[in-house]
Amino acid sequence: KKGEYASARNYLNRLIDIDANNPITYYNYGNLLVDMKEYVTAKEMYKKAFELDENFTEARREYENLRDI
């Protein structure tokens, strides 16, 4: 499973390198980080997603779910 996480993380980093303004990439990265139990960084990714798209309610909801972390 660690190998899968590392592969997914590398892929998402490449997507950010290609287009750093795609909120969906940050949202998906946040989801991956939650699965990896990296909650603080996941919260940052969700925040970035809804900063890029203020109507991205799913990202805002996930961010709020991690509010106390």
- DSSP assignment of 19-44: -TT-HHHHHHHHHHHHHTT-HHHHHH
3-class secondary-structure state, position 69: coil
What confidence tier does 68 reach under pLDDT thresholds 50, 70, 90? Answer: confident
Interatomic CA distance for residues 60 and 41, integer angstroms: 15
- Residue 1: pLDDT above 80? no
**Percent of the chain's residues with pLDDT above 90:** 91
pLDDT band at 20 (very low <50, low <70, confident <90, very high): very high
pLDDT of residue 2: 79
What integer pLDDT is reported at residue 31 of this predicted model? 98
Residue type, 34: V
b/e code 17-52 from CB counts within 10 Å (16+ = b)? eeeeeebebbbbbbbbbbebebeeebbbbbbbbbeb
